[in-house]
Amino acid sequence: MAVLAHENSVPFYVAAPISTLDLSIPSGESIPIEERPPEEVTHIRGIQIAPEVEAANPAFDVTPARLITAIITERGVASPPYRDSLARLFSESSLKKASPPARERPAPAR
């Protein structure tokens, strides 16, 4: 979908919780992709619907950063260059976690 958006000059946004982003990984090529059981795509309710072939069933894919207009998180929007803007969001996130706002106590019932 990102490729189609790029080829047609349509912005492509990713919406993801900040907890799913990992700044320790140097690039998307380093992200380990979970392989799901092939039967999830070759069978329906236990009945084989595909010929006897090997089937790849990745749990997700990785969109190249160059195709992404911005990444929308609960902490804000990250724009290219992502290393900087995501680091800023992570920093703001850890600051907010380190000092939660004081809670007001409800007034006693009368």
Q: What are phi and psi of 70, to 5 degrees?
A: -165, 160
- Cβ atoms of 39 and 49 within 8 Å: the answer is no
Could you read off the pLDDT of 23-47 as tens digits, one per residue?
A: 898 888 898 899 999 999 999 999 9
The reply to whether 103 falls in a domain is: no
The reply to whether 55 falls in a domain is: yes
Could you read off the pLDDT of 94-105 as tens digits, one per residue?
A: 555 544 444 555
- The H helix count followed by the E strand count for the chain is 3, 5
**What's the whole-number mean pLDDT along residues 40-62?**
93
Which parts of the chain are beta strand (E)?
13-15, 43-44, 47-48, 70-73, 76-78
The reply to whether 110 falls in a domain is: no
Expressed as residue numbers, the domain containing 50 is 2-24+31-97
The reply to whether 106 falls in a domain is: no
What CATH number has the domain bearing residue 51? 3.40.50.10470
The reply to whether 60 falls in a domain is: yes
- Whether the predicted pLDDT of 16 surpasses 60: yes
- Whether the predicted pLDDT of 21 surpasses 50: yes
The reply to whether 40 falls in a domain is: yes
Residue 42 DSSP symbol = H
Instruction: Give how many domains the chain has, as a whole number.
Output: 1
